[in-house]
Amino acid sequence: MAHRSQSIAEFALYGEAARTIAPEFVHVEPISDRSSLYEWTISPHSHPGIFQLLLVTEGQGALADGVGETRLEPGQLALVPGGVVHAFRFAPQTQGWVLSVADALLDDPRLAGFGVAALVRGGQALCLPVDALVAGLMAALHMRQGRPDAATLAALALILAMVDEAAAAQAAAAHGPVDRRILLVRRFTALVEARFREHWAVARYAAELGTTPQTLTRACRHVTGKSPGDIALDRLLREAMRALTFTAAGVAQVADDLGFADPAYFSRFFKGRAGVEPSRFRRERGWFRQTPTG
């Protein structure tokens, strides 16, 4: 019998064909814009490479994550990591905001340091009570739709900080002090950020963190649903995508900067994880412009 996941749709935004997500992708829209087109029911689907924050301000809804349904009242925010299958049902005329952000944007130094990064790259949807200020910030982002500038990233950083605080408070109330596995994964991702160009093996990361590869692997899979090796390779891929998008460096130069001795191996790595060759990826990037010379 075919696995059920084969029938679950993958989208960029709901109803739009899945595609390679630009590292700078930020999109905000009212809940009613899309859900009203589908009789206020969003069928099971996922968004590879995009995490979403959905905030109800009026009315009510429910988040289904395959385990059960969680009621969404005004002031309740649903956090859905990229790739996690989920569905929503809303009462007619429900109001609020859906903020969709590329996972890769969390690598921007201006957004570094938030514990929420582990949550939005994890394998579990969450519902959190948040301050009313979050709705105002999402409305402001809606007015600044497009490529993220400094003001947009500042508003996004404040939203993430508030979601981070809400998640920490909810975890402390439910389980007491923060799970040690979460703390280990936070330390690991910080180390990956510093060393991903060096292509360290998982064993070396574990040794630097004072743990074993097995313990690190269990922690990463519990918190993010991914192995430490995949987390490190995903970070390498995102940096390659960023360089191919925003710089005029040649493919061989990007490969060298990322620690690949052989450009051909870099091309195989990139195609294996992104699905396209680096040269084609660059041609299709909407934000890249070759700087004229001479």
- pLDDT at residue 32 in the model: 96
Per-residue pLDDT for 5 more than 80? no
Q: Which of 55-69, 177-191, 192-206 has the lowest mean pLDDT?
A: 177-191
The half-sphere exposure of 263 on its side-chain side, counting CA atoms within 13 A, is 9
pLDDT confidence bin for 177, thresholds 50/70/90: low
Is residue 228 one of the residues assigned to a domain? Answer: yes
Per-residue pLDDT for 25 more than 80? yes
pLDDT confidence bin for 290, thresholds 50/70/90: very low
Where is pLDDT greater, at 118 or 283?
283
- pLDDT at residue 167 in the model: 83
Q: Is the domain of 231 the same as that of 202?
A: yes
Q: Is the domain of 65 the same as that of 202?
A: no
- pLDDT at residue 12 in the model: 77
Per-residue pLDDT for 174 more than 80? no
Q: How many domains does the chain have?
A: 2
Is residue 47 one of the residues assigned to a domain? Answer: yes
Question: Which strands form 69-72's sheet, in the order they lie side by side?
Answer: 9-10, 41-46, 86-90, 61-64, 69-72
Is residue 288 one of the residues assigned to a domain? Answer: no
CATH number at residue 47: 2.60.120.280
Q: Is the domain of 168 the same as that of 184?
A: no
Q: Is the domain of 52 the same as that of 123?
A: yes
Which range marks the domain in which residue 103 is found? 4-175
Q: Is the domain of 122 the same as that of 23?
A: yes
- pLDDT at residue 2 in the model: 32
The pLDDT tens digits for 45-57 are 888 889 999 999 9
Find where tokens 């180390």 sit.
191
Give φ, ψ of 64 to 5 degrees. Answer: -110, 130
Q: Is the domain of 171 the same as that of 184?
A: no
Q: Is the domain of 14 the same as that of 103?
A: yes
Q: Which amino acid is at 57?
A: T
Per-residue pLDDT for 202 more than 60? yes
- pLDDT at residue 88 in the model: 93
Q: Is the domain of 24 the same as that of 165?
A: yes
Is residue 73 one of the residues assigned to a domain? Answer: yes
pLDDT confidence bin for 294, thresholds 50/70/90: very low
- pLDDT at residue 291 in the model: 37
